[in-house]
Structure 1
Amino acid sequence: MTNLQSNKKTKKKDDFLMQGAILAIAMFLTKIIGVVYRIPLTNILGDEGNGFYGYAFEVYAMALMLSTFSLPVAVSKLVSARLAMHQKRNAFRVFLGALAFSIVVGLVISLLIFFGAGAISTHMMESPLSVYALRVLAVGLFIVAVLGVLRGYFQGLGTMVPTAISQIIEQIINAIVSIAGAKVLFDVGAAAGKKSGEELLGPAYGAAGGTLGTVVGAFAALLFLLFAIFLYRNNIRRQLKSDTTRRKESYKRIIKILLITIAPIVFSTAIYNINQILDLTIFNKVMAAQGFTEKEYMALQGIYTGKYNTLINVPLAMANGLAASIIPSMTTAVAVHDKNQIHEKISQSIRFTMIIAIPCFIGFIVLGSPLMVLLYNDTSKTPATLLAIGSITVVLYCWSTVSNSILQGLDKLSEPAKNAGISLVVHLIALFIMLVVLKWNIYALVGSNIVFAICMCLLNARAIHKACDYRQEIDNTFVKPLIAALIMGAVTYLVHFIFDLLVGGRFAATCIAILFAVIVYAFALLKLGTLSNDDIRALPQGDKILHICKKFHLLPKYRML
């Protein structure tokens, strides 16, 4: 291999990790903002209001998946495939065709959910008062449809920056409007509830106010991306003029390919969401049958969706960022039939995902109760136990999310869908046993989701091996990060214990323990030799990071030579 070829491959690897890191950091920040604003939102809505809020969001997410949520992935994949073959005009036609498709489908689904919200909330959800939040969210379906195409186009071009910035803008606006909307409408609903005798009308109205932030935030992100397209227009014109491709794809063919690409992605991603809807619906019906009141089981559901899921989704966001960046990168490698590059990208994406996920898993076990106290001032046993038991899903869902994207990048679009279908069946059987036979109550939701995630990981790993003969490396991907995380966990527990005795309070001990956790894990990870010099160089500012590591002797001695 020539030096030029080697440099090109290094550049591609660097860019893949750079773009993945940009989007992962942005998603992490949005989730942190989400956790922070959910604290006052949870306090305003209460557990009952969080139940209405979470349930409406599950239906909204399901409608989004069935309509247009798969568009960013599909557009990114189709655009990057055409750019790899130097078909710039066809890549732009994919964008225009997908945009028209999203406008039509987004509008239809939005209207159906808006006018059908009453029937859905009453007959399907067993929660009639969720109708208000669901109607507000229905408006957002159209906005997010168009937003998804714009994000997918930029991702297909190989840049995650516009998507990253738009997500941060979206979440900031979402946080501000959600809190204000929930406060105002909760008071309005409470006043109306006193007159009508419906005590849950306040939480129901408050949930609707909270969902208003989702719609306004998405609209703000859409405006930003439209502005970004406007700024990028001259580059687009130059690309179209320089394109010498004679074959011009028709919009009819583009829509057909888009639908073929979307279908398996929709199916696999929809199962993840229908999984949640089925869980909550079955949970409500079983709890009602076992003698629980609506207030009791909606409060438990509020803890699950508003506290447990909110924390679990923070590390998952970073996996989603890396997953989004690997699809166009993997598509390009597949287009040029570079098997070594394919294996390298698979290895790096899974390894870096585990390096993030595994310490979060251990951290949630060690700091489950302190985190609930810190964020929600909740000293009760149920939220902390849910977080400790369900923390393993961070590792499993991160792994399955990235492996889904790997399979999609390998053009094995139907495999994640098939694997998700099999996992859903196993999951529902497990949920029935845990909820009805074992009567595990809210813990059955966590237990059955662990079963679902394990099935997805095993089936996806098998499919990846079958698709490209990739064999998963174990030591640096799983064993060393776990050892480093266990060291981190022991130190973190000790630090929290000491500072809790010395200082006490809600914030100090937990915040100091988290700071120690980050430092100890990073040190242990480097000292164990988990990352090679090339891995470190491939990170953003990798050369500087490697220099610092060598200067302070943070690498194993054999690597310092």
Structure 2
Amino acid sequence: MQLSDKGSERLAMSENNSIGKKFIIHGGILAMAGILVRIIGMVYRIPLLNIIGSEGNGIYSVAYNIYNIALIISCYGLPMAVSKLVSARLVEKQYSNAFGVFKTALLLSLCTGGAAALLIFFGADFLENVVYAGSYPGVSMPLRVLAPTVLIVAALGVFRGFFQGHGTMIPTAVSQLAEQVVNAIVSVLAGYLLVRAYKGASDVAAYGAAGGTLGTAMGAFTALLFVGFVYMVYRPAFTRKMNHDRWGATETTTELCRLIALTAIPIMIGQTFYQISAAIDDIMYANIMKSIGTASDVISKTNGNYNSSYIMLINLPMGVASAMSSSMLPSVVASYAQGKINDIRSKIEATIKINMMIAIPSFIGLTMLGGPIIQLLFPRYNSAEGAMMLKIGAIAVVFYTMSTVTSSALQGIDRINSPVRHSFISLIVHIVLTWGLLKFTRLGIYALVIGSASFPVIIFILNLIELYNEIGYRQEIKITYVVPLICSVVMGIAAWLTYRLFHVFAGNTVSLLAALMIAAVVYFGQLYVCRKKGIY
């Protein structure tokens, strides 16, 4: 009997390790795809920016912020809700109910996504002339192009959530890559053709921005076709599982609608606060700067610099956090359903540790090499201004990463409303701080950077307190933060010295590539030594 108990214990431990490794491996796959997607996004934005110009890019960025808000309000919470609810049912082998979640969510996505698409399409002129007070002339054009994309992405998210609920991130990863490749090709081509066709028009910048947004629509449609194909291939196998489903109670459509709404709406509201903060920043910046006599084209250019040189660059490493959180969520849900609190704590700790291994050196790297990176990627913009933005706000990479992971952890343990409450508190602080800096200082665009960087700090602190109260989670410091920080500082100094040395006899591109290679060798070399010595 004793041997049997030990054997069962070893088997359970083996299963737990397998589950833990699976979510980390799949999270890693999704993270790599996310990084590639963001790299492709940065690369294609270079020719797109050169084609549509700084003013066109400012219009493009504003239209994209509105599009993101529409996505969040209409369907952002659905993928995570589907993933969470499907995972919880698969743990108990409720295959029919899991499929019911998918069908109901797909129907809801078509309703909410369709409604949002219609609102954007017919409300584009109101947004341009009333909300933005004409500060971004022609923004209604790219908004109308983006409108049907909301419906496509709504359905796409449900398919991705269904597969994520099964614990596999591969369909999501591949569809994201396909989406971005098509997006890049169509955006550049359409932007070029429309700018050339309307070269003499006063609103040529708006036409260029509209061409850029067309790629978003075509990319999303391509991704939807791919996940739809994968679903059709997988459906016979899942149908066989449903045929052998012995779970007695079948959930009704009404029950599932209520469950999906109760799960998705808090997630949606929490993310809405973040996206609303970006739109409010655009509105406050445009109106306050206009009130002190700043020209509309200057507002568009500086805002475009902010959205490219700062927002886009800090979003690159943050993709790892989003991917690992998406992978962690169904795993945490499964552990919570089985009452394995220690497993939950271990998964949160492992996810944050992996993320900090990327986020901390990214923060140091962007701080030290921000100027050269902007010169390479966005030569049209003021690299000194962009570099200062990164020096002020690159620390946001670390806090956005931690707030994303801890919010996902709270959602996994059925504390879905907590991240919403924390995001609302942070939004209020963010608005007051940013408005005050814009109104009473001469910081200008740097006020947006400070406000943006402050947003995730409060969320993370409140999330951490909640996790401690609910599951006794204590954040480990030395391995998670101190070791990567020390290694990153040494890396940053080595990279900066390398850049300066090479820049004496070589151009920016060669010097930057040399600095980045040295940075990678120095950082990962230090981590390897620390691991061999048992420090990391």
TM-score bracket, normalised by the shorter chain, equals over 0.9
Equivalent residue number for residue 46 of structure 2: 39
Check if 1:92 corresponds to 2:106. no
* CA-to-aligned-CA distance 1:376-427 (integer Å, 9 cap, x gap): 2356411111122221111111111111111111111001100000001111
Check if 1:169 corresponds to 2:171. no
For 2:287 and 2:353, how far apart are their aligned partners in 1? 41
Equivalent residue number for residue 144 of structure 1: 153
Q: What amino acid sits opposite 1:168 in the alignment?
A: L
For 1:341 and 1:257, how far apart are their aligned partners in 2? 25
Equivalent residue number for residue 263 of structure 1: 265
Q: What amino acid sits opposite 1:411 in the alignment?
A: D
Check if 1:383 corresponds to 2:360. no
Deviation, 1:558, is: 8.4
Decide which moves more: 383-392 or 219-228.
383-392
Deviation, 1:453, is: 1.7
Say if 1:190 and 1:202, in contact at 8 Å, map to a contact too: yes
Deviation, 1:528, is: 2.6
Deviation, 1:352, is: 0.8
For 2:485 and 2:252, how far apart are their aligned partners in 1? 51
Equivalent residue number for residue 487 of structure 2: 484
The DSSP-based 3-state class of the residue aligned with 1:367 is: helix
For 2:199 and 2:306, how far apart are their aligned partners in 1? 24
Deviation, 1:46, is: 1.6
For 1:558 and 1:289, how far apart are their aligned partners in 2? 56
Equivalent residue number for residue 3 of structure 2: none
Decide which moves more: 445-454 or 58-67.
445-454
Check if 1:424 corresponds to 2:427. yes
Equivalent residue number for residue 462 of structure 2: 459
The DSSP-based 3-state class of the residue aligned with 2:443 is: coil
The DSSP-based 3-state class of the residue aligned with 1:190 is: coil
The DSSP-based 3-state class of the residue aligned with 1:244 is: coil
> What is the alpha-carbon root mean square deviation over aligned residues?
1.2
Equivalent residue number for residue 548 of structure 1: none
Say if 1:87 and 1:243, in contact at 8 Å, map to a contact too: yes
Equivalent residue number for residue 436 of structure 1: 439
For 1:172 and 1:51, how far apart are their aligned partners in 2? 23
Equivalent residue number for residue 362 of structure 1: 364
Say if 1:189 and 1:204, in contact at 8 Å, map to a contact too: no
The DSSP-based 3-state class of the residue aligned with 2:504 is: helix
Q: What amino acid sits opposite 2:131 in the alignment?
A: M
- 1:265/1:494 CA distance change after superposition, 3 Å: same
Say if 1:72 and 1:153, in contact at 8 Å, map to a contact too: yes
Q: What amino acid sits opposite 2:484 in the alignment?
A: P
Deviation, 1:164, is: 0.3
For 2:333 and 2:383, how far apart are their aligned partners in 1? 48
Deviation, 1:235, is: 1.2
Equivalent residue number for residue 216 of structure 1: 218
Check if 1:9 corresponds to 2:12. no
| 1:171-250 correspondence to structure 2 within 5 Å | 171-191=180-200, 193=201, 198=202, 201-250=203-252
Deviation, 1:439, is: 2.2
Check if 1:340 corresponds to 2:349. no
Deviation, 1:527, is: 2.1
What TM-score does the superposition give when structure 2 sets the normalisation length? 0.96
After the TM superposition, which parts of structure 1 deviate over 6 Å for at least 4 consecutive aligned residues? none
Equivalent residue number for residue 113 of structure 1: 120
Check if 1:66 corresponds to 2:73. yes
Q: What amino acid sits opposite 1:216 in the alignment?
A: M
For 1:297 and 1:103, how far apart are their aligned partners in 2? 37
| 1:19-38 correspondence to structure 2 within 5 Å | 19-38=26-45
Say if 1:189 and 1:203, in contact at 8 Å, map to a contact too: no
Deviation, 1:187, is: 2.3
Residue among 135, 138, 143 paired with 2:144:
135
Residue among 51, 57, 63 paired with 2:64:
57
Deviation, 1:510, is: 0.5
* CA-to-aligned-CA distance 1:196-255 (integer Å, 9 cap, x gap): xx3xx1111100000000000000000000100111122111211121111101111101
Deviation, 1:190, is: 2.8
Say if 2:137 and 2:206, in contact at 8 Å, map to a contact too: no
Say if 2:187 and 2:213, in contact at 8 Å, map to a contact too: yes
For 1:317 and 1:349, how far apart are their aligned partners in 2? 13
Q: What amino acid sits opposite 1:97 in the alignment?
A: T
Q: What amino acid sits opposite 1:185 in the alignment?
A: L
Decide which moves more: 166-175 or 123-132.
123-132
Q: What amino acid sits opposite 1:189 in the alignment?
A: Y
Equivalent residue number for residue 298 of structure 2: 296
For 1:433 and 1:62, how far apart are their aligned partners in 2? 24
* CA-to-aligned-CA distance 1:177-200 (integer Å, 9 cap, x gap): 000111111223332x2xxxx3xx
Check if 1:153 corresponds to 2:148. no
Equivalent residue number for residue 354 of structure 2: 352
Residue among 432, 446, 450 paired with 1:447:
450
Deviation, 1:117, is: 0.8
| 1:504-515 correspondence to structure 2 within 5 Å | 504-515=506-517
Deviation, 1:557, is: 6.7
How many residue pairs are counted as aligned between the two chains? 526
Decide which moves more: 21-30 or 101-110.
101-110
Equivalent residue number for residue 281 of structure 1: 283
For 1:122 and 1:401, how far apart are their aligned partners in 2? 35
Equivalent residue number for residue 556 of structure 1: 533
The DSSP-based 3-state class of the residue aligned with 1:52 is: helix
Structure 1, unaligned runs of 5 or more = 530-554
Q: How much identity, in percent, do the aligned residues show?
A: 39
Equivalent residue number for residue 545 of structure 1: none
- 1:289/1:558 CA distance change after superposition, 3 Å: closer
Decide which moves more: 210-219 or 492-501.
492-501
Say if 1:72 and 1:148, in contact at 8 Å, map to a contact too: yes
